[in-house]
A and B are shown apart, each in its own frame.
Chain A
């Protein structure tokens, strides 16, 4: 069990987003650069270090769905915009849940474009951990166009998962677009499998959204529940 998982478990909570990102990076999963900022000054400084534009996301153990709580501000191009976003996030967090403990905000790189995909893990009562892969947005929500694979997932399995969705043609490149970085997705699935095998206390993982470009993939948002 990884020390971050152990820590969170002992504290009786899930992994905070910056912890989850750190854990994923250790397993070679490409989370966008992020820094936890507890004050507005720290947020500004983090934004300069990461480079504009950035995203600010609320960090609170009690709030899992940040967007619903008004806790996500994207495409912030200047320090002024960061400052304003910080105070707005703090205010909406308080109005969303008075009891919520606010650890600060997570400052991450804003990466526009790319194709949204979802990588995830759930535990099935019968068969144990199962990885899930699909295209983001309407593809997963409306068409349920996802593929599942039992662990362990090796490279060949990972490619089968990618080819197992109908939307694969989008990743292969349609209408004159170049193919997306499918090797990157496959590697991420294999690494995710390894992470889950080595940390059986993790119950659920959501890497949503993850964006895929021609030459790389980037995980923009992370949720790890234990």
Chain B
């Protein structure tokens, strides 16, 4: 296939070899081959190990040289002391485009000989036209061709449009676990862990995701980068097309020192990272749960056109929690409901409903049945002063949550504005939340999380408007 990008050989290899493939279930070389078979990778898989005849039913090759035909990707799952030898073999065989080096014990140790060894491995590879992921990394997952080179904790790999880049295999794996445990498992498209970034780095992957048709939202766990200017160029380019959400650790000075010793990247002042992210339109989050929440919002709902949120609640307390959180928002504020809108709400809601106290906040009360929820939602969605709706409900015993969710679905699906839903709570609402999410409506455990996500979406909208104005030839751009 011509015209392929370097990283295509990582994400869409037609064939791959696992060097160090093993029948010992405690070894990475066993687990990686097992992943490929269990998951059903669409390309060819070649186990390589001179000591094995067969691994998981596949005949095992003695050396890379014995593998016939094309070989795009090699996964080097041997101890660190053997990696250079394998890379030399790969270079001599020729035709190989990409390598994942799993073993740790290189530049991250800061031991001069090991730093040198890593450089020699990369030099050997690059001379032979092989790109390098790692060392000290687990590699790639792609839900489109059922590829998984990792030894990450297993998740049900639901296909989705969120792609993940991580500077920590553990945080990256945990992200997928958190995504999986959403009411309806939140799917992903691609996932990559680059370890020491001796060759391919997070920025090259970010750029690749930016151009990837199957990626609509990018999520990243970042400890540090080496080239701020390149980050700016690539992030600015990608955020014009799709949201880039980054969990950047090192908020505190001590945390930033820990991060520097983990990946060996320059830590830098956190306040400057804030400024840089804002300049490039990157969405910054503080916690992994927040990364998943924000990714879910972007993935499932359209961008709000403005910053005005209508809070529609069936219960006072959770509604107040939501309004309170709005008070801390960077952009989001309560919406304005027109006189006409108020009259329509009065007409369709139980008499004790509290409409617009304050403006934009509607407590439909526990007397509200399914049709009251749905009618009120339709009214506020039609309001020109409403850019987004947060619907909160604590279904009482006489209002089965799933029934309520089903009756709300037509209005939710027809909305051209973002609507976030909080069905409180727990097991009582699990099925309703799963039903809503399976139908593309994001749900959140608590209203405060939903407000936080809306606020980030509003920030992105504001950024895109600013870029559009500046590129529209505004003076001083």
Q: Which residues of A contact B (CB under 8 A)?
A: 124-128, 130, 147-150, 154-156, 190
A-B contacts, 5 listed (Cβ < 8 Å): A127-B231, A127-B275, A128-B229, A149-B279, A156-B466
Partner of A154, one of B228, B231, B470: B470
- Is residue B359 contacting chain A, with contact meaning CB distance below 8 A? no
Give me 14 other A-B pairs in contact (C-beta within 8 A), A126-B268, A148-B271 excluded: A124-B228, A124-B268, A126-B266, A126-B272, A126-B276, A127-B228, A127-B268, A128-B228, A130-B275, A148-B272, A149-B278, A149-B279, A150-B279, A155-B476
Q: Is B232 an interface residue (CB 8 A)?
A: yes
The digit string for B347-376, where 1 denotes a CB below 8 A from any CB of A, is 000000000000000000000000000000
Residues of B within 8 A of A149 (CB): 275, 278-279
4 tightest A-B contacts by CB?
A: A126-B228, A127-B228, A148-B275, A150-B279
Binding site of B, secondary structure by majority: helix, strand, loop or mixed? helix
A125→B275 contact, CB < 8 A? no
Given A154-B477, A155-B476, A190-B476, A130 and B470 contact (CB-CB distance below 8 Å): no
Give which listed residue, B229, B466, B476, contacts A127 with CB less than 8 A: B229
- Give per-residue flags for B222-249: 1 if the beta carbon is below 8 A from chain A beta carbons, else 0: 0001011101100000000000000000
Report B259-271 CB contacts with A as 1/0, cut-off 8 Å: 0000000101101
The interface residues of chain B lying within 8 Å CB-to-CB of A155 are 476
Q: Which residue of A lies closest to B271 (CB)?
A: A148
CA separation between A127 and B228, bound complex, in Å? 5
Q: How far is the CA of A123 from the CA of B91 in the complex (A)?
A: 42
Q: Which residues of B contact A130 (CB under 8 A)?
A: 272, 275
Q: Closest residue to A157 on the B side, CB-wise?
A: B279
* A150 and B470 within 8 A (CB): no
Do the beta carbons of B272 and A124 come within 8 Å of each other?
Answer: yes
- Counting chain B residues whose Cβ lies within 8 A of the other chain, the interface size class is 20 to 34
Q: In the bound complex, what is the Cα–Cα distance between A150 and B275 (angstroms)?
A: 6
- Check if B212 is an interface residue, CB within 8 A of chain A: no
- Verify if B274 is at the interface (C-beta below 8 Å from A): yes
Residues of A within 8 A of B466 (CB): 156
Set of chain B residues within 8 Å of A128, measured between Cβ atoms = 228-229
Digitize B442-477: 1 where CB-to-A-CB distance is under 8 Å, 0 elsewhere. Answer: 000000000000000000000000100110000011
B477 shortest CB reach to chain A, Å:
6
Q: Are B268 and A150 in contact (CB-based, < 8 A)?
A: no
Q: How far is the CA of A149 from the CA of B228 in the complex (A)?
A: 14
Contact among A127, A147, A148, A156 with B232 in the assembled complex (CB-CB below 8 Å): A127
- Point out the residues of chain B lying under 8 angstroms from A190, CB to CB: 476
Given known pairs A149-B279, A156-B466, the reply for A127 and B477 (CB within 8 Å) is no
- Given A130-B275, A150-B279, decide whether A125 and B476 contact each other with a Cβ distance below 8 A: no
Distance in angstroms from B249 CB to nearest chain A CB is 15
On whether the beta carbons of B266 and A125 are closer than 8 Å, the reply is: yes
Q: Which residues of A contact B476 (CB under 8 A)?
A: 154-155, 190
Q: How far is the CA of A147 from the CA of B275 in the complex (A)?
A: 8
Chain A residues, Cβ within 8 Å of B231 = 126-127
CA distance A128 to B477 in the complex (A): 19
Taking CB atoms, residues of chain A closer than 8 Å to B477 are: 154
Which B-chain residue is minimally distant from A161 (CB atoms)?
Answer: B275
Shortest distance in angstroms between A87's beta carbon and chain B's nearest beta carbon?
44
A48–B181 Cα gap in the complex (Å)?
Answer: 77
